Chain A
Amino acid sequence: MIDASPADNPGERRAAYALISPAWVMFVVLLAGPSLAVVVLSLTDWQLGAPTMNFIGFGNYEQLFADRVFWKSFGNTFVYCLVVVPGSVFLGLGLALLIEGAAFGRAFYRAAYFLPVTSTLIAMAVVWEFMLHPSVGLINIVLEQVGIKGGDWLKNPSRALFTLAGIGIWQSAGLNMVLFMAGLKAIPPDLYEAAEIDGASSVWERFRCVTWPMLGPATLFVTVVSGIRSFQVFDTVEVLTKGGPNKATEVLLYTMYTEAFNFFRTGYGAAITVVFLVVVLALTLLQVKAGEKRTHYS
């Protein structure tokens, strides 16, 4: 390892600056600049293409916090996360435990359950739309066989958000599964033997005494990562419901998208982006903390 002291070798320093300069320029122009600009824009009344731009302080935020649609959207995003995160974390954990404990077929199961993660979500959303069709969709046909009337999954306001959450769980459980598998592999096998000698004979006892405590930090980490991912829900909303019916599936990124890119209320859209960014950054700091804990344990 090299120490962090400044270079004593001018040649090495010159080469280093030449090597980093493209990345530095791109960082400033494409990431740092725009991320700061979004904060500045959120303090203006600018609309795309308008000749003038006035600073209006926190005007956009005042308007935002007084807007019922914004709070609806904010609340919906949280409800979505509160369904998808536990759903996909527990499903991921269960799958990881079942598959890692299987005597054969582990690679097959892992690949099959992982398939939804890599498939193009927009295309699969179109397939889900067809499967959720009230009269000719697979789901209602199957439900009818067992005597249940399925009804409308996407146009029923009390149900639409949960339907989208179901698709979210379907899509992300496989990712959580492989993250948990990485955590399970890190548990030393002698711990199970030790637990058995100490009288933990049943599968449940071994899970409670060894697997669960050892997996704790990984669980926290997977939960936060799932939270960040599901907070960014957008694709299924745009394709399947467009925020409807009656704002029942309006979520934060979708509100941002319509304000900034359909109505071109740039300043207002920027304010929504800032709210979105603050929540994601708060979750990310949690993730960093969870990550530190994890390295501490392993």
Chain B
Amino acid sequence: MTRRGTLLGHVLRHAVLLAGLVIMLAPFVWMVSTSLKPPNEIFSTKLSLLPTNWAAAENYRDAFTKVPLLRYLLNGVIVTGGIFLLQLLVSLPCAYALAKLRFKGRDILFTMVLIGLMIPAQAPAIPRYVMLYQIGLLDTYAALILPFVFSAFGIFLMRQFFRTVPDDLMHAARLDGLGEFEILWRIMLPQAMPAMLAFGVISIVTHWNDFFWPLIVIQTGDLATPPLGTLFFRNEEAGSDFGPLMAGTVVITAPLILLFLAAQRRFIEGVTLSGMKG
């Protein structure tokens, strides 16, 4: 792209971009604004961003006491953390073998990974649910974590990365008497940090925001992930007490937004990759 142009062009460009931004960011701004207002100002048809009488303390206190918001956030951390750790444990060895070792069946396995990339997460939902029902694991952390331990995307991404590591490094390590596990652990992993971070961003964003699966397997309020907890909160309020409800949504959306603002580049890279995946 060329970045020259007339002054009028520049002004117009930024005018359009800023106007669009007002619409895109309106939900975030209105959410925060409402979370600061008392009910009479929320139900007034007069537009104002900041309240005349601040009710932030009451709204946020109500949000934390009416529903276990902190518990929802903790559940989100446990579930996304558990999923990502187990995904690494399963994906990394497989990705390394696919990238660097010779064995019969390698091409078949890689084809399976590619097929796995195409299957949408909702397709295996019913049999997974039946399995969890039969072993009595519905409505547990295990039900939230176990189905996602296999990540075709993780294996694919890490395999592509491991292929770029020079073979000489491995040969030298083998001559030093290192086994394949040690090569993976001591030579490959330290180099693979950037790829693992990209994988981590995708995995965490996907599962923190996932709603379909927790909705199906979780009944107990104490096990709700942040999106499911938001729904419980909304249903409890029945559309009347918007101040605390908006305070709750601020708290629920804050962790990912802060993470995004802190690591924008990684986020956009990672999500672009997963967008490619579909």
Main secondary structure of the interface of B (DSSP, over half): helix
A64 close to chain B: CB less than 8 A: no
A27 to B112, Cβ gap below 8 A? yes
List the B side residues contacting A26 at CB < 8 Å. 90, 149-150
Instruction: Mark contacts of B247-265 with chain A using CB atoms, 8 A cut-off: 1 yes-contact digit, 0 otherwise.
Output: 0010011001100110010
In the bound assembly, the distance between CA atoms of A15 and B93 in angstroms comes to: 10
Contact A260 B3 (CB under 8 A): no
Are A273 and B122 neighbours in the complex by a CB distance under 8 Å?
Answer: yes
Cross-chain contact A280 with B30 (CB below 8 angstroms): no
Q: What is the CB-to-nearest-CB distance from A156 to chain B, in angstroms, rounded to a whole number?
A: 17
B208-243 to A contact mask, C-beta < 8 Å, 1/0: 110110011000000000111011001000010010
Per-residue interface assignment for chain A, residues 117 to 149, with 1 indicating a CB less than 8 Å from any chain B CB and 0 otherwise: 111111110111111010110100110110000
Chain B residues near A97 (CB-CB < 8 A):
1
- When distances are taken between beta carbons in the complex, the residues of chain B under 8 Å from A276 are 120, 122-123
- Is A76 part of the contact surface with B, judged by Cβ < 8 Å? no
Chain A residues with CB under 8 Å of B253's CB are 119-120, 123-124
On whether A123 and B252 interact (CB within 8 A), knowing A118-B267, A136-B42, A225-B278, the answer reads yes
Residues of chain B contacted by A138 (CB below 8 angstroms): 26, 30, 47
Contact with A along B84-121 (1 / 0, CB 8 A): 00000111011011101111101101001100101110
Q: Known contacts A175-B275, A273-B123; is A130 also within 8 Å of B102 by CB?
A: no
Query: Interface-forming stretch among B52-60, B126-134, B191-199?
Result: B126-134
With A15-B179, A30-B146, A112-B21 known as contacts, the answer to whether A124 contacts B124 (CB < 8 A) is no
Are B17's CB and A102's CB within 8 A?
yes
Residues of A within 8 A of B150 (CB): 23, 26-27, 30-31
A98 touches B13 (CB 8 A): yes
Chain A interface helix/strand/loop/mixed: helix
Q: Are A101 and B2 in contact (CB under 8 A)?
A: yes
With contacts A102-B17, A184-B1 taken as known, whether A13 is within 8 angstroms of B104 at the C-beta atoms is: yes
List A contacts of B103 (CB < 8 A): 6-7, 12-13, 16-17, 20
The answer to whether A162 has its CB under 8 Å from any CB of chain B is no
Q: Does B79 contact A (CB under 8 A)?
A: no
Contact B21 A20 (CB under 8 A): no
Closest to A283 in B: B278
Which A residues fall within an 8 A CB radius of B? 1-9, 12-13, 15-20, 22-24, 26-27, 30-35, 37-38, 41, 48, 95, 97-103, 105, 107, 109-124, 126-131, 133, 135-136, 138, 141-142, 144-145, 170, 173-175, 178-179, 182, 184, 187, 189, 192, 203, 206, 211, 225, 228-229, 232, 234-235, 238-239, 253, 256-257, 260-261, 266, 269-270, 273, 276-277, 280-281, 284, 287, 291
5 of the cross-chain contacts (CB-CB < 8 Å) are A98-B17, A111-B260, A115-B28, A119-B253, A273-B126
With A48-B133, A182-B272: A32-B112 Cβ-Cβ less than 8 Å = yes
Question: Contacts A2-B102, A13-B103, A184-B1 known; A117 to B245 CB distance under 8 Å?
Answer: no
Contact B272 A127 (CB under 8 A): no
Complex Cα distance A225/B275, Å?
A: 7
Within 8 A of A (CB), among B1-38: 1-3, 5, 9-10, 13-14, 16-17, 20-21, 23-28, 30-31, 34
What's the least CB distance linking B108 to chain A, in Å?
Answer: 10
A118:B257 contact, CB within 8 angstroms: yes
Using a CB–CB cutoff of 8 Å, the interface residues on chain B facing chain A are 1-3, 5, 9-10, 13-14, 16-17, 20-21, 23-28, 30-31, 34, 42-45, 47, 89-91, 93-94, 96-98, 100-104, 106-107, 109, 112-113, 116, 118-120, 122-131, 133, 146-150, 152, 155, 163, 167, 179-181, 184, 205, 208-209, 211-212, 215-216, 226-228, 230-231, 234, 239, 242, 245-246, 249, 252-253, 256-257, 260-261, 264, 267-268, 271-272, 275-276, 278
Bound-complex Cα distance A62 to B3 (A): 59
Does B261 lie within 8 Å of A111, measured CB to CB? yes
Q: Which of B47, B128, B131 is A142 in contact with, Cβ under 8 Å?
A: B47
Between A38, A119, A287, the greatest number of chain B beta carbons within 10 A of the residue's beta carbon is seen for A119
Pairwise interchain contact A2-B100, C-beta atoms closer than 8 A: yes
Report the separation of the CA atoms of residues A266 and B130 in the bound assembly, to the nearest whole angstrom: 9
B234 to A, closest residue via Cβ: A126
> In the complex, A16 Cα to B99 Cα: how many Å?
10
A123: chain B residues at CB < 8 Å are 226-227, 230, 249, 252-253
Interface residue from A115, A135, A229, A281 paired with B257 (Cβ < 8 Å): A115
Query: Which residues of A sit under 8 angstroms from B26, Cβ to Cβ?
Result: 131, 138
Which residues of the partner chain A approach B13 to less than 8 Å between Cβ atoms?
98, 101-102
Check if A122 sits within 8 Å of B104, measured CB to CB: no
Whole-angstrom CA separation of A285 from B123 in the bound complex: 17
Chain A residues near B14: list those with CB within 8 A.
Answer: 102, 105
